[in-house]
Amino acid sequence: MNSWKYPAFWLTVVVVIVGGAVPYVTGSNTWRENMFLILLAIALASSLNILLGYAGYVSFGHIVFFGLGGYVGFYLIAEQAWSLWPATLAGGVAAGILALLLGLAILRLRGAYFALATIGVNEAVRTFINNFDLFGGPIGLELNFSVYRDYGGPATMQWITYSTVFALTLLVVIVSYGIKFSRFGLGLMAIREDEDAAMVMGVRTPMAKTMAYVLSAIVPGMLGVIFFFRNSSVEPHEAFRLHRSIEMIVMVMLGGQGTVLGPLFGAATYEALRGYLLTSPLFKDLQLALAGLLLLLIILFVPSGVIGWLRGRFRRLWRVLE
């Protein structure tokens, strides 16, 4: 854990803090809403990056942790009258446990088989929740607005949830650095390059992969609780949307997988672009198609992402962009 020695670490942390502080300084609700979505995207993409970028395992259904964590937390708040904080923790724990159980099973699969299995898991959970009466089946759950009174009314609640997402984003970024420069992180990257060789060199691959999977699941689970709490409702299609899952991959790829700054940059750019396209009348319907085009161009021409490309191009930036 000596990541604080690197200028890249400080650069990234400062970027997140400055970006996240803008809404407090301006006090503007629009800024807060935009930054909420951007920070959410950054935290999700950076979490996925721990598995995708470091260990090289492509989880196509990573949104399942966001959805399931969100559901568990939401249920506890709406039906069991829990307060937001323990419910958020419970959402993270639920996602972590799911990842642990799944990880022990499906991480044995490699390449395309693993990707397919993660899609299958997401769909299995979605269709199950669709039939699960305790969680409201296909209609989902709703929150009584009076709950927000405990958090100082809807307006204050929005600031509280914003701050929580801000803190979680910072946490993910710091943890990402911590992992990257640790023995554990090096083991993951060895797995990414050549799993069999890593095993021979003494990396405990099943253990390391499962740990990475669990770590990449916990924060999305917590974010799910906060997101749906703020939304005041949750339903299966919204919680387990496969496209959202792949958008997370796009963000990681756009910035550069395996770097910490990459997912941050990719998520912020993608989310800002999406916000712009959604509000522009000309591109509103074509937003998905443009995202697809962007993805294709990245894969064909800059497969290492923007940060990866910069690193390859300018060796001097190695210590700064990580």
Partner 1 sequence: MEQLVASLADGLLLGFVYGLSAMGLTLIFGVMDVINLSHGPIIALGMFGIFFISGGTAFGLHPYVALVLVALLGLVFGFIVYFVAVHRVLDAPHLSSLLATFSVNMMIIGVGTALFTTSPRNLDFSMGSIQLGSITLLGTRLIAAVIAILVTAGLYLFLYRTPPGKAIRAVSNNRAAAELMGIPSTQTLALSFGIGTMLAALSGGLIATFFSFSILSGTVYELKSFVIVVLGGLGNPTGALIGGLILGALEGIVPVFIPVSWVPVIEFVLFVLILLVRPTGLMGGR
Contacting positions for partner 1 (CB under 8 A): 52, 56, 58, 60, 105-106, 108-109, 111-113, 115-117, 119-121, 123-124, 127-128, 130-131, 138, 242-243, 246, 249-250, 253, 285-293, 295-296, 299-300, 303
CB of 5 to partner 1, least distance (A): 31
Residue in the block written with tokens 């990459």: 262
Tokens of 269: 């750019």
Pick 13 or 115: Cβ nearer partner 1: 115
Nearest-approach distance from CB 251 to partner 1, in angstroms:
12
Judged by CB, which is closer to partner 1: 119, or 186?
119
3-state secondary structure of 282: coil
Nearest alpha carbon to residue 56 among 209, 201, 174: 209
Residue 132 backbone class (left: φ over 0; alpha: ψ -120 to 50; beta: rest): beta
For residue 259, the 8-state DSSP code is -
Kindly give the residue spans of alpha helices, DSSP state H, lying in the chain. 7-26, 29-49, 63-78, 84-106, 111-130, 153-180, 183-193, 195-200, 205-231, 236-239, 242-255, 261-279, 287-301, 305-313
Residues linked to residue 142 through DSSP beta bridges, in sequence order: 233
In this structure, what token pair is assigned to residue 71?
């559901």
CA gap 95, 64 in Å, rounded: 8
Nearest to 40 by CA among 227, 256, 231: 227
Q: Is 36 exposed, middle or buried (0-12, 13-18, 19+ CB in 10 A)?
A: buried
The rounded distance, in Å, linking the Cα atoms of 207 and 194 is: 16
Closest approach of partner 1 to the CB of residue 238, in Å: 15
CB of 33 to partner 1, least distance (A): 24
Contact between residue 90 and residue 82 where contact means Cβ atoms under 8 Å apart: yes
